[in-house]
Amino acid sequence: MNEWWRSAVIYQIYPRSFQDTTGNGIGDLPGITRRLDHVASLGVDAIWLSPFFTSPQKDMGYDISDHCGVDPLFGTLEDFDALVTRAHDLGLKVTIDQVPSHTSDQHAWFEESRQSKDNPKADWYVWADAHPDGTPPNNWLSVFGGPAWTWEPRRRQYYLHSFLSTQPQMNFHNPEVPQAILDAMRFWLDRGVDGFRLDSINYPFHDVELRDNPPLPEASEDDWANPYNVQIHVYDKTRPETVGFLQQVRALLDEYEGRTSVGEVGEGRGAGKIMGEYTKGGNRLHMAYSFEMLGPVFTAEHFRRCVEGFFRDAPDGWPCWAFSNHDVIRHATRFADPGADTDALARQCIALLLSFEGAVCIYQGEECGQTETELTYDEIVDPPGLKFWPDYKGRDGCRTPMVWDKDAAHGGFTTGTPWLPVKPAQAARAVELQDDAEDSVLDYYRGILGWRKGAAPLLRGTTEFHDIDEPILAFTRADGDDALTCVFNLSPEDVALKLDCETSLTGPARNAGLGEDQLELGPNGFAWLTGRVECARLD
C-alpha cells in the first residue's frame, strides 16, 4: 500500500501570490512551474495549490464558477498539465484544493437553480421560505458577517451562504450534488493530480429542519468582534451526514493508486474530535487539519493537548499539522513576543512541526522566515478585512507576494503592479538573499527537511509526552527500539534540564548544549536526544 502521505511534508502555494509571468500583477500557473525547482530544493514531498479554477474572484477563487476549468488569470488547462508534468519530474506530488460546500453565484448550476422552484437544479442549493414577517428562516450567520441568508426575488425564497452572499451553499441532501462534486474530482484525478485538500469540509451538510443555533455561553469580548463567534454551530455545519460523503470521496480515491485527501476542519474549539471522526478507520479521509495550531497560543500544554487529543480520539486516524496558511497571520509574527528574534522562532517552529506525529503542511515564504505584512486600510482587498477593520484586518497580510529577488521591482514577483504590495520588511527575506547564505532560515529548512528523511522515529514513531512544566515541551518518538527525545524551550529565557541517562545530541539542534547529565537550552532552543530520556527542570 502506497501511504507516502503519512510522513509527507506538503508545501502550500497560493497561486496569485507566487510568481507572475504576464505582468498583470497576479501569479499564474506558468509562474509556479518556473519556480518548482526552488520548492523541490527544500526537500518537500508534495505541493498543494490553492484554487486556480474559473471564478469571479470575489473570495480569491474559493467562489468557483466552473469546477473543471482554469481561470484565465492563471493560465490554461495545458499550463496545468505542464505544471503537473514538471512537478512529477522533480519528484513532487501535486494536490489541489476542492471546495465542496458552495459555489459562486455565477456558476451555471446556481444560475439555473435561482430561476424557479421547479427547474432541474432547483434543489441543488439550500433554499428556504421567509418567516411571515419577511425575516430569514433562522438565526444562522455568515462567517464573513451578517445573516447567512440572502433573498432571491425570482424564487421568493432565501438561499443559504456560510461565507459571502456570492457563495451560495449547495444542498448535499440531494444525492445529485455530492455526485457532481465527485465527478469534478475524477476530472482532476484523470489529469494526474495526487490528491485533494478539501476546503471547509465540515460545512457541506446542514440541518434540514433549519433549527436555530444556540448561543455560546459566556462569549468573550473578542468573540463579539464577529457575532458568528457567539453561536454554537450545531445545526449549520459539522452534521453527522458528512461522514457518508467522506466515505464516497475515499472510495473514489481508492480507485487510483497512491492518491490522498486532507480535510480542512473549519473549527477552533473542539476541532480535534472532528478531525478524528473524519479520518478514523480506512474508509474516510486520509488526513485532516484544523485551526487549533493556527491560533495565537504557543505553549507546551496547548501543543500536547492537540497531539494527544487527536490520537486519543482517533488512534487509527491521521493528522496534518500546520502553523501557517493563507487564512491566518504568519506564525513568525503570530507566535512572537515583542522584540523577539523571529528567525530563531522560525527555525524552532519547523523543528517542532517536523517532530510531531503526522503529516506536515508549510506555507510559501515560511522557509524564509517570512513575517506578516502590515497593510493600511486602503491596501486591503479581503472582504472580511474590509468589513471588520480594525478589530480584524483580514487575510491579506499573509497573502502578499512571494519575494524572490531583493533588489528587483516588487521582489521579482511581477513586472507590473502586484495585486498586494511587497514591502521592505518582506523584501529583506528574499529567497535570493538566503539561497546560498549559510545559517539562513532557508538553509536551516533545507537541512532539517533532509535530516528528517533519515530519522525513522520522526517518520514512523509513536509519541509519548513527558510531564514537565512550561515552557518546556518534551516528548519521545519511538519506532521500536529506535527512539528520539524531542525537547523544546518555548520561551525567550535560558532553561536548564537534568537528564536521567546518558545520551547524545543528534540532528540540527539549535541553541542547545549537552553536559554529562544536563541539557541547557537558550531562548527558543531545542534538541533531539538519542533514546528515551526523562528531563527535569533545574531552577
Q: Are the C-beta atoms of residues 313 and 475 closer than 8 Å to each other?
A: no
Predicted confidence at residue 516, as pLDDT, reads: 87
Query: What does each C-alpha distance from 538 to 490, 499, 518 come to in angstroms?
Result: 16, 10, 9
Determine the CATH number of domain 4-102+174-208+236-381+396-452.
3.20.20.80
Predicted confidence at residue 268, as pLDDT, reads: 64
CB burial class (10 A; 0-12, 13-18, 19+) of residue 447? middle
Angstrom distance (rounded) from CA 350 to CA 367: 9
Predicted confidence at residue 483, as pLDDT, reads: 98
Determine the CATH number of domain 462-538.
2.60.40.1180
Q: Are the C-beta atoms of residues 175 and 123 closer than 8 Å to each other?
A: no
Predicted confidence at residue 272, as pLDDT, reads: 83
Strands 287-290 and 260-265: parallel
Predicted confidence at residue 535, as pLDDT, reads: 92
Predicted confidence at residue 270, as pLDDT, reads: 74
> What's the predicted TM-score (pTM) here?
0.97
- The two domains 4-102+174-208+236-381+396-452 and 462-538 share their CATH topology (first three levels equal): no
Q: Are the C-beta atoms of residues 264 and 287 closer than 8 Å to each other?
A: no
Angstrom distance (rounded) from CA 197 to CA 362: 14
User: What's the start-to-end Cα distance of the chain, in Å?
Assistant: 49
Q: Which residue in the list 221, 255, 391, 539 is annotated as catalytic?
A: 255
Predicted confidence at residue 314, as pLDDT, reads: 85
- pLDDT per residue rounded down to tens, the chain (539 residues): 689 999 999 999 999 999 999 999 999 999 999 999 999 999 999 999 999 999 999 999 999 999 999 999 999 999 999 999 999 999 999 999 999 999 999 999 999 999 999 999 999 999 999 999 999 999 999 999 999 999 999 999 999 999 999 999 999 999 999 999 999 999 999 999 999 999 999 999 999 999 999 999 989 998 999 999 999 999 999 999 999 999 999 999 999 999 999 999 977 667 888 999 999 999 999 999 888 899 999 999 999 999 999 999 888 899 999 999 999 999 999 999 988 999 999 999 999 999 999 999 999 999 999 999 999 999 999 999 999 999 999 999 999 999 999 899 999 999 999 999 999 999 999 999 999 899 999 999 999 999 999 999 999 999 999 999 999 999 999 999 999 999 999 999 999 999 999 999 999 999 999 998 999 999 999 999 999 999 999 87
Dihedral of CA 355/357/359/361: which sign? Answer: negative
Q: Are the C-beta atoms of residues 411 and 6 closer than 8 Å to each other?
A: no
Q: What does the buried/exposed string (b/e) look like for 345-366 if buried means 16 or more CB atoms within 10 Å of the residue's CB? A: bbbbbbbbbbbbbbbbbbbbbb
Residue whose C-alpha is closest to residue 297's, from 309, 306, 288, 289: 306
520 is known as an active-site residue = no
Map out the domains of the chain as residue ranges: 4-102+174-208+236-381+396-452, 462-538
For residue 55, give the C-alpha cell: 471564478
Q: Which residue in the list 79, 199, 236, 277 is annotated as catalytic?
A: 199
Residue whose C-alpha is closest to residue 458's, from 498, 520, 506: 506
Angstrom distance (rounded) from CA 158 to CA 172: 17
Most distant CA pair in the chain, distance: 79
- For residue 286, count other CB atoms closer than 10 A to its CB: 24
Angstrom distance (rounded) from CA 395 to CA 404: 21
Packing angle between helix 242-253 and helix 271-279, nearest 10 degrees? 50
Query: What does each C-alpha distance from 7 to 144, 154, 160, 373, 429 come to in angstroms?
Result: 34, 51, 38, 31, 28
SS3 130: coil
Q: Are the C-beta atoms of residues 18 and 32 closer than 8 Å to each other?
A: yes
CB burial class (10 A; 0-12, 13-18, 19+) of residue 431? buried
Q: Which residues pair with 215 in a beta bridge?
A: 231
435 is known as an active-site residue = no
Query: What does each C-alpha distance from 214 to 160, 434, 485 come to in angstroms?
Result: 18, 51, 44
Residue whose C-alpha is closest to residue 26's, from 62, 71, 86: 71
